[in-house]
Structure formats: C-alpha cells, structure tokens
C-alpha cells in the first residue's frame, strides 16, 4: 500500500503592495458622491415650496380663478391709447378691438403699456373712438338683438360724417391706418357721393383742387378719354 500524501504546508501570503496616490485619487473620482445633509435639506424645502405653490394655484382654479386672476382680467378690460400729440384715451377693450391694427398689436405685445397711435391726432382719435363705441354698444352680439335699429344706425352714421372736408379726409386716413373697415367704407362712400354726377370743374370747386393742366393738355386728355366725357 502507498503511504498517504503529506499535506503541503500553507504558503505565506505576500504582503499587498501599497496603492499609489494616483490610483487612490482615480478610485475616489469613480465612487458615487453622497450629497451633504445641508443640500438635502435645501432640496427638500424647495420641493415643499413648489408643491405648496402648485396646490395653492390649484385651489385658486377650484375657487373659480379668484385673487390675482380676477385682478389681471380687470386690468385688461381697458386699453390706453396715445395719440400723435401725446393725449391719452382710456377705452374699453371691445371698443379698441374695432381696430384690427390695435387688436393685432395687443395680441402680439400685450396691453400693459399704452398703445401708440402716432398717425392720428387727438381730435380725430376722439371721433374714431366715438364711432367705435357707438357701434359696439348698438350692434347685435351673440344671442342678443341690436339696441338700435338698422335705420337708426344708418342715420347716426350719416350725421357722423357731416363734418368739414379736412376732418373727413383725416378720418379716411385714420380708418385706413387703424384698419377699421366699416369706418373706412363709410367715409369713402361719403366722398364718392360728393363727387357723383359732377363735372371735373365742379369737383375741383368742391374740393378746392387747382387745375394744373394747360388748355392744350386738357384738350389732349379729353380726346384720349372721350368716353368719360360723353
């Protein structure tokens, strides 16, 4: 019989070489960092504030938009217009929105600051506001009848344009600049009625237009456009 094998004596373990400082720094960079306790507390407080703000906003919505929401809507109910000569006019938003130009400007930039109207003087802007206010108050809205009949509104319009020629022409320019189609149609129709049925000389006399044609030039125009003088 073979004698049993003798167990080998345990080998002495070699001492582990000390790590270099460079490896220690690399290991420290790879290890996840734990946020300090103060940062965790600040994060918790900010989350608490955000959650509280959201819940308060939700409560405001649940109460039907009271508080700041009502204040903002009340402030946006009127619009300030500044004329070319620096006079301020405070008008209702619906009246200001009769002008498509002002409506587009407010939708783009808001109504916190006064809306400048640099091409319209104060006396003409006052007339434009008078026209817009009357039509907003008397034209029918959704689900309601007109407060003034169509005939009454037509008579009011006819009386509105019974002004001096200079004022009428300034109203045309203002309506065109502010893009108020109904006022532009009214004023242009008024001028067309003033011209209708009149000779060129009568038109010159009506609008104080100086004839800068020589007799020869006028005769040539008549000959080239004889159909217009029949």
Q: What is the pLDDT of residues 1-50, one digit of tens each?
A: 555 556 566 565 555 555 555 556 556 555 555 555 544 444 444 333 43
Q: Where are the beta strands (DSSP E) in the chain?
A: 78-82, 88-92, 115-116
> Under a CB-based contact definition with an 8 Å cutoff, are residues 173 and 202 in contact?
no
Closest CA to 82 of 109, 112, 116: 116
> What confidence score (pLDDT) does residue 101 get?
94
> What confidence score (pLDDT) does residue 186 get?
97
Tokens, residue 105: 């400007």
> What confidence score (pLDDT) does residue 91 get?
95
Region 170-196 average pLDDT:
96
Phi then psi for residue 158, to 5 deg, are -65, -40
**CA–CA gap between residue 137 and residue 95 (Å, rounded):** 9
Tokens, residue 219: 């005769």
Q: Using the Cα atoms of residue 183, residue 187, residue 193 and residue 196 in order, give the sign of their dihedral.
A: negative
DSSP conformational letter for 1? -
Residue 141 confidence (pLDDT) above 90: no
Q: Predicted confidence band at 127 (pLDDT cuts at 50, 70, 90)?
A: very high
Query: Percent of the chain having pLDDT more than 90?
Result: 41
Query: Percent of the chain having pLDDT more than 70?
Result: 63
> What confidence score (pLDDT) does residue 146 get?
57
DSSP conformational letter for 15? P
Computed over every residue of the chain, the mean pLDDT equals 76
> What confidence score (pLDDT) does residue 36 get?
52
DSSP conformational letter for 99? S
**CA–CA gap between residue 70 and residue 84 (Å, rounded):** 33
> What confidence score (pLDDT) does residue 5 get?
58
> Under a CB-based contact definition with an 8 Å cutoff, are residues 146 and 138 in contact?
yes
Region 82-91 average pLDDT:
95
């Amino acid at each position: 019989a073979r004698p049993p094998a003798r167990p080998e004596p345990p080998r002495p373990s070699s001492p582990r070489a000390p790590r270099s400082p460079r490896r220690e720094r690399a290991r420290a960079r790879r290890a996840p960092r734990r946020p300090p306790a103060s940062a965790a507390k600040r994060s918790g407080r900010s989350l608490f504030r955000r959650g509280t703000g959201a819940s308060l906003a939700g409560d405001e919505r649940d109460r039907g938009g009271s508080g700041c929401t009502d204040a903002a809507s009340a402030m946006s109910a009127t619009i300030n217009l500044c004329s070319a000569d620096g006079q301020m006019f405070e008008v209702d938003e619906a009246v200001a929105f009769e002008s498509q130009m002002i409506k587009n400007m407010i939708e783009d930039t808001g109504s916190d600051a006064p809306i400048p109207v640099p091409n319209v003087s104060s006396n003409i802007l006052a007339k434009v506001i008078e026209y817009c206010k009357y039509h907003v108050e008397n034209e029918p809205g959704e689900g309601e009848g007109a407060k003034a009949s169509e005939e009454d509104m037509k008579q009011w319009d006819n009386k509105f344009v019974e002004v001096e020629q200079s004022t009428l022409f300034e109203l045309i320019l203002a309506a065109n600049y502010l893009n108020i189609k109904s006022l532009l149609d009214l004023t242009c129709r008024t001028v067309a009625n003033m011209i209708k049925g009149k000779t060129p000389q009568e038109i010159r006399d009506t609008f104080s237009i100086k004839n800068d044609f020589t007799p020869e030039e006028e005769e040539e125009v008549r000959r080239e456009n004889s159909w217009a003088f029949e």
